[in-house]
Amino acid sequence: MTDSKPLDGKLALLTGASRGIGAATAETLARAGAHVVLVARTATALEEVEERIHDAGGTATIAPLDLTEGESIPRLAAAVAERWQKLDILVLNAAMLGSLTPVEHIDPREYARVLTLNVGSNHALIAAFDPLLRKADRADVIAVTSSVGHEPRAFWGAYGSSKAALENLLGAYADETEHTGRIRVHIVDPGATRTRMRALAFPGEEPESVKPPDVVAEFIVQRVTADVPSGERVRVES
């Protein structure tokens, strides 16, 4: 391990890795020396991220799958365990925005999909990868949240409640694992960031007026390489 490659020899797995914050974080982790497992539904988009990582001298493996599909997460954990035996960094980034609408108008079926991906799949990832995280010398779990998970906002009830549940889930996991001294949990609110989800939520906003995903990616890598406590909820400022 060197100062330029502080994550040399580490294995990181990221969901929602095909674009935005996920792709930027994957590339930043790879530059820091980690081998990155890229998870998202679209293989072609993952291949583009993988190619950029390889062109920059890093290493990555793609794992195209739907996190909400049956046994996809246990199968992924089994494959990672067979090949690497441990996991050092888990970034829970994949999420669905859903419709921005008054609470009384939330479509139950869409709300169920939002909760399944934003909460249920993240719980399944923690449950499946916890044994591998415990085998690492020190592991980091990063959950990407939103300000609306902490501060309710009109029309954001579906997405906001899913992020509130995610924060509570990760806070509990942080409390439960603190005694090990080996697993740290980071709840990261990226703030206003230039992503596809942001464009959908704020269609009239000038993209250049908010920070690029690379800023959030650098912040996440700084967290996992710094001496910080577990369970903190932190916001990335511009």
Catalytic residue among 156, 159, 173, 219: 159
DSSP assignment letter at 70: T
CA–CA distance, 134 with 138 (Å, rounded to integer): 8
HSE, CB side, 13 Å, CA atoms: give it for residue 186.
27
Q: In what order do the strands lie in the sheet with 139-144?
A: 59-64, 35-40, 11-15, 89-92, 139-144, 183-189, 232-235
Contact 109, 159 (CB under 8 A): no
Q: How many helices (DSSP H) and strands (DSSP E) are in the chain? A: 8, 7
SS3 103: helix
CA of residue 203 relative to chain centroid, distance: 24
Q: Is 173 labeled as catalytic in the residue annotation?
A: no
- Count of alpha carbons within 13 angstroms of residue 158, beta-carbon side: 24
Instruction: Tell me the catalytic residues.
Output: 159
